């Protein structure tokens, strides 16, 4: 046993890639002789991140549909046909025992071709509002692992299993103490710390807000760890100082979470799952520019449990300062939010997903 062949696909954003890598790592731990192949979209970040994690990847010529009529949309049928043809050849050549999809453009053609070749397939849906790729693939999947309640509205009920979202191993049990984390960033222990997260590429609107409110934070004697994203680092690095630490990317997320008192973040599925484990009072500013507005729905699922606060982008100018001050000045409110968000954590998500994969293999 153990000479299994696993094919995995998910990409476009870190939210689809990191779960796929976490699942592969756990499968490798259990089946050390297994073979792995990832399939991604040719020009997306998985082509860099997956090899960095030590896995082989093949690229498909695929991209999503744009919301308005563009040349890219006119190319979509050609790209889709090309990707289906290539995916069929990849499946035929690799002969996987099981296919695992974590969402994103490339997983559509791959899992469609895997299931039509008789390969069992498992889907992992990170968001509280299912993505279009997973909805299209649901009928052929053996199991669909989800992170939120109520996902039967999108998928056949008998296939749905709530496991949570896989997160990076160093975040499942954060061991870094606060003093060590503050020293790492060069911050003072007598002032509070706000951690600002815009996702791996950064969030333009959040960056604009932080830039505009730097004096407001200074007046309140608040220190910032500001992850502005690699697309925006050149614009904002000039603000790096003793009390404002501007980073394009945070390599040590466990240190960042340990150092922080309050977190301001986008509401991508991976971020939400990590923040539940971190257990800190969080203000979500969801991106309105994502498919089916799923970030807002992810944040709302926590707000409903009094586990986080949410502010929409179009209310930032009028409501941010008041909301932030109220939270900062109420230790009781901070404690309630921290306790409730921690309750929503599912730290064994990766293991539970791999348990389901094992059952299918047997």
Annotated binding site for UDP-N-acetyl-alpha-D-glucosamine: 13-15, 127, 168, 200, 295
Return d(Cα 339, Cα 280) in angstroms, integer.
8
Tokens matching residue 68 = 């308005």
- Residue 125, classified by CB atoms within 10 Å of its CB into exposed (0-12), middle (13-18) or buried (19+), is buried
Which residues are documented as binding site?
13-15, 127, 168, 200, 295
Give 89's contacts (C-beta < 8 A, 6+ positions apart): none
CA angle 354, 358, 362 (to 5 degrees): 175
CA 274 to chain CA centroid, nearest Å: 8
Enumerate the H helices of the chain as residue ranges. 14-30, 46-52, 71-94, 107-116, 132-137, 169-172, 178-185, 204-212, 214-219, 233-236, 253-259, 269-278, 294-303, 316-329, 331-343, 349-361
């Amino acid at each position: 046993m153990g000479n299994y062949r696993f094919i995995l696909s998910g990409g476009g954003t870190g939210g689809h890639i990191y779960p796929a890598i976490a699942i592969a790592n756990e499968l490798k731990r259990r089946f050390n002789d297994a073979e792995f192949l990832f399939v991604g979209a040719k020009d997306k970040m998985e082509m860099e991140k997956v090899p960095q994690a030590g896995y082989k990847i093949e690229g498909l010529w695929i991209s999503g549909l744009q919301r308005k009529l563009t040349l890219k949309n006119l190319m979509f049928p050609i790209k889709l046909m090309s990707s289906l043809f290539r995916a069929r050849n990849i499946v035929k050549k690799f002969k996987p025992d099981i296919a695992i999809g974590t969402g994103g453009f490339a997983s559509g053609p791959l899992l469609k071709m895997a299931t039509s070749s008789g390969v069992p397939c498992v889907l992992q849906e990170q968001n509280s509002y299912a993505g279009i790729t997973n909805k299209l693939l649901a009928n052929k999947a053996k199991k669909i692992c989800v992170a939120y309640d109520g996902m039967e509205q999108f998928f056949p009920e008998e296939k749905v299993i709530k496991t949570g979202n896989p997160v990076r191993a160093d975040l499942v049990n954060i061991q870094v103490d606060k003093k060590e984390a503050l020293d790492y960033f060069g911050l003072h222990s007598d002032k509070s710390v706000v951690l600002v997260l815009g996702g791996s590429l950064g969030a333009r609107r959040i960056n604009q807000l932080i830039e505009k409110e730097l004096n407001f934070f200074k007046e309140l004697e608040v220190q910032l760890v500001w992850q502005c994203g690699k697309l925006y680092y050149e614009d904002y690095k000039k603000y790096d100082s003793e009390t404002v630490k501007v980073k394009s990317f945070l390599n040590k997320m466990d240190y960042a979470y340990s150092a922080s008192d309050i977190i301001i973040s986008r509401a991508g599925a991976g971020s939400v799952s990590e923040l539940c484990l971190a257990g800190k009072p969080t203000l979500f500013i969801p991106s309105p520019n994502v498919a089916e507005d799923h970030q807002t729905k992810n944040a709302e699922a926590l707000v409903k449990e009094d586990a986080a606060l949410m502010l929409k982008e179009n209310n930032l100018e009028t409501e941010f300062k008041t909301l932030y001050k109220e939270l900062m000045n109420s230790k009781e409110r901070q404690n309630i939010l921290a306790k409730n968000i921690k309750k929503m954590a599912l730290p064994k998500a990766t293991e539970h997903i791999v348990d389901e994969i094992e059952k299918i293999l047997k």
